[in-house]
Amino acid sequence: MISVATIASVAFAACLLTLGNVAAAGDKPAADPLKPAVVVAPKRLDLRAPDITKLFSEAQLKEVLSKALDPRIEEVEVEGRRSNEALPPSSPSVWGGIAAPFWALAHPTQAWRIVAPLPPDQASRVGNDAPDATDPSRAVKIPQ
C-alpha cells in the first residue's frame, strides 16, 4: 500500500515541475502555431571586383597610365621566383616489399602511399635510371 507521505511528496514534485515549466514558458512568448516561421536567408557574399576609381584616385590612375608604353595595352607584372630556383616538393620515396609496413609505421600520415600507384614525379624515373651494376637482380647468370 502506498503511504500518504509518498503521495504527498509525488504531488509536491509534480507541482514544482509544473511551476518550472510555466516559469520557463513565461520567459519568452510562445510561437503561434498557425503563423509560419520566418526564415531569414543569409546574405550572399559579393566577390565582384570593386570599381577601380574607388580604389585609386584619379591622379594615381593618370600617373600609372602615363608610365605605360601604349595606353591602349594593359600590362600585368608578376613578381616571383623562376622554376629552377625552388623546386616543387616531391612525394616521399616509399620502401617496397616487406619493408613497406615499417615505412608506414614511421610515416603514419603518408601510410596510404604503400597501396597507391607511383606518383607522377616518381613514375617518370621508372625505366629511365642508369643500370646499377651492384644490383643483385641484374646479375648475369653464366651457364656451366
- Residue 72 belongs to a domain: yes
- Residue 68 belongs to a domain: yes
The per-residue pLDDT for range 7-42, each reduced to its tens digit, is 767 777 776 666 655 544 445 555 666 677 777 888
Q: Which residues contact 52 (CB under 8 A, 6 or more apart)?
A: 61
**Angle of CA points 127, 132, 133, to nearest 5°:** 140
pLDDT recorded at residue 16? 65
Residue length of the chain: 144
pLDDT recorded at residue 121? 75
Average pLDDT (79-93) is 67
Q: Which residue has the cell 511551476?
A: 19
pLDDT recorded at residue 23? 47
- Residue 91 belongs to a domain: no
- Residue 60 belongs to a domain: yes
pTM as predicted: 0.30
Domain count, the chain: 1
- Residue 112 belongs to a domain: no
pLDDT range class, residue 105, cuts 50, 70, 90 = very high
| Domain encompassing residue 68 | 50-76
The per-residue pLDDT for range 58-68, each reduced to its tens digit, is 898 888 777 77
- Residue 71 belongs to a domain: yes
Q: Which residues contact 37 (CB under 8 A, 6 or more apart)?
A: 31
Cβ atoms of 81 and 88 within 8 Å: the answer is no
- Residue 21 belongs to a domain: no
